[in-house]
A and B are shown apart, each in its own frame.
Chain A
Amino acid sequence: MKARVTVTLKSGILDPQGKAIEGALKSLGVDGVASVRQGKVFDIELAGDDKAKAEAALKAAADKLLANTVIENYRVELLG
């Protein structure tokens, strides 16, 4: 089973990397960009096909390691 964990900065946390990318997009002439926030994507393959188990494992992975919940939120998706 394939899954994706997306980790993003919480709102209100300053993201200097996102700001730099935003500036670069503006200097490239890409119009209409109001703001950029940078995050991380983890594509994970799981053994077995128990969806509830998979979700629990992914949540544990995100809480224990993938995200620092002081500054980051995460979203877990099962891609089937």
Chain B
Amino acid sequence: MKSAVLVFPGINRERDMARALRMISGHEPAMVWHAETALPKGTDLVVVPGGFSYGDYLRCGAIAARAPVMDAVRDHAAKGGLVLGVCNGFQILCESGLLPGVLMRNDRLKFICKDVHLRVERSDSPFTRGYNAGQVIRVPVAHGEGNYAADEETLKRLNGDGRVLYRYCSADGEVGDLSNINGAAHSIAGIVNESGNVLGMMPHPENHVEDIMGCTDGRGLFAGLVAHLDRAA
């Protein structure tokens, strides 16, 4: 799997992401500066990592979403290429129009930095094939604006078309107000676009991939992508 990790001023999770990709795919990811107008040839997966691009000025992800490299990402996505946005990356994908909706301020106004449980809603997507449907995984979150919101029509489509891949849940997989850490509509933690090749999620799977991290539940996402691409090749 050849991956490209986008780098914007103010991003701070790009090296965690690169480490996870290198470890799991066996290939060194390309780090791509935001002012570039093209992705490296043969890129399978574009990753928009987490952080605080442009200091979260204006709205989280708003300025990064208009960077030159995002046109190349749009082309890549339009051709069916895989795109993964994590945390600020999810916000950037929403602001860029690659995903619907918006990430609002957490409903209790606090920055949340802790491990959470996610329920994997289906296993037949490139982004979840390393898991079983209904499986509960534990991954960290670190965000102040992760409260997913969209109009009713969009939410209906996301739910009806199986485009919600990850939801916040309790340790035993119950979805409800108690485990909905940030007030997200329908406990949404991660969604895909209509054609299923662009995923945005608030939690950080790249931070639970090695034993030393205390948990390796995040590996499945990356291993699933590698398996998906191997099969397609």
- Which A residues have a C-beta under 8 Å from some C-beta of B? 13-14, 16-17, 20, 64-66, 68, 70-71
Q: Verify A70–B151 contact, CB threshold 8 A.
A: yes
A47–B147 Cα gap in the complex (Å)? 39
**Which of under 10, 10 to 19, 20 to 34, or 35 or more describes the interface residues of B?**
20 to 34
Does B107 have its Cβ within 8 Å of any Cβ on chain A?
yes
A14-B107 in contact given A68-B102, A70-B150 (Cβ < 8 Å): yes
Other 7 A-B pairs with CB < 8 A, given A70-B151, A71-B149: A14-B183, A16-B108, A20-B109, A66-B58, A68-B62, A70-B100, A70-B150
A16-B151 in contact given A66-B58, A68-B59 (Cβ < 8 Å): no
Q: Verify A16–B150 contact, CB threshold 8 A.
A: no
Residues in chain B near residue A65, CB distance under 8 A: 58, 62-63, 66
CB pairs A–B below 8 angstroms (25 shown)? A13-B104, A13-B149, A14-B149, A14-B183, A16-B105, A16-B106, A16-B107, A16-B109, A16-B183, A17-B105, A17-B109, A64-B66, A65-B62, A65-B63, A65-B66, A66-B58, A68-B59, A68-B102, A70-B100, A70-B101, A70-B102, A70-B150, A70-B151, A71-B102, A71-B149
Residues 91-107 of B contacting A (Cβ, < 8 Å): 95, 100-102, 104-107
